[in-house]
Amino acid sequence: MMKKTLMVLVLILAASSVSVVSVCAEDNEFPILEKQLEIRQAHLKWITAIMEMSMETTVEYIDEISESTGTSELSSLLDDFRDQTEKIETLTTHVALNNAIRQLGDILRDFRLETREQMKEHDGKDWMLLTRIVLALDENKEKLDNLEDEYWEIREKNSLEILDIYVDWAQDILDILEDNGYDTAEAQEKLDEIKDQRDDLEDALKDRDRIEILQIHLEIIDLSMELSQIVRDLQVEIPPKKIVEHWINVGDRMVERTDTIISELETLGIDVTDLQEIHSKAEEDLERAQDEFDAGNLIGAIDALKDLKTDLIELRDAYEGLISEGALPEDMEAKVEAMIDTLDDTVEDMEDSI
């Protein structure tokens, strides 16, 4: 929600300093994604350690009650689980992490089903297995506590840094707006309220108070929605000519960035025929928008920009298709994933603006 608010602010700034804001937006996107990924990885590392210890204890118990005849499948699944968890820290995208989590879920499901069958076949006692699991976790409490501490330390650090990035970005935009004659007093007051939430969020994170963290996040969302509305009200002050000019500039950057990615994909031997066709259409629509704008025909320019928006949607869908195929190297997948996010935001903001 805060990201949406700031995207609206970017549009408002179109009249004065498009290039400055665009660089800020792109520069902020990658570190935020990385910080969010680190939080998820730390949490998963802690949780999977608990699961692995529970699975190990289960295998030991089944081995005992089955006289070493009922654990072959369970042991194999445990090995698969360990192999998968070892990869977690090496993943560099949210897509890759989501896939890993799904695979872990499949392994755990199969492990539970096999455990149920072996417990039934060998007359296992649920209370006895549970007691042993609790004891095993208690014996490894120091290790698990360290992993939990590591998770909360990363979550606190990264959550605050993400908030700071968003707030600083918004503040830079408001400062430039004010320098260019916009009345930002109401927007600044609302942004200051968001800034004031930082200390409370830091305290809640230190206390590991999940309920308080959630309440603060909800408060920030409410404030961000109010800020978004304030900025939308400011938007009417921008002449239509400036809005069209802004989206022509944005379209030019989108076409340039996607051309670079297509070239890199082609170098990797990826079939980019469909992407090149869509890209050519986007170039044509962008050129038409520029020609209509230069001729003073804003309606014609807006029509061309709407066609460009359709092209960007098709580009996004084509990129998503490449991701789903799973054939891209991780570094290239990260670039394509970031491009998809940028296209999503651009299309959404174009929908609101033209």
CA distance 269 to 121: 53
Angle, alpha carbons 290-311-287 (nearest 5°): 15
Q: Which fold has domain 239-354?
A: de novo design (two linked rop proteins) (1.20.1440)
Q: 91-126 burial, b for 16+ CB within 10 Å, e for fewer? A: bebebbbeebeeebeebbebbeebbeebbeeeebee
pLDDT of residue 180: 64
**In the chain, where does the domain assigned CATH 1.20.1440 lie?**
239-354
Average pLDDT over all residues of the chain: 87
Question: Which residues, at least 6 apart from 315, have a Cβ–Cβ distance to it below 8 Å?
Answer: 258, 275, 278, 279, 282, 343
pLDDT of residue 326: 81
Q: Is the pTM of this model over 0.75?
A: no
* Residue 61: pLDDT over 90: yes
Label residue 233 by pLDDT band (50, 70, 90).
Answer: confident
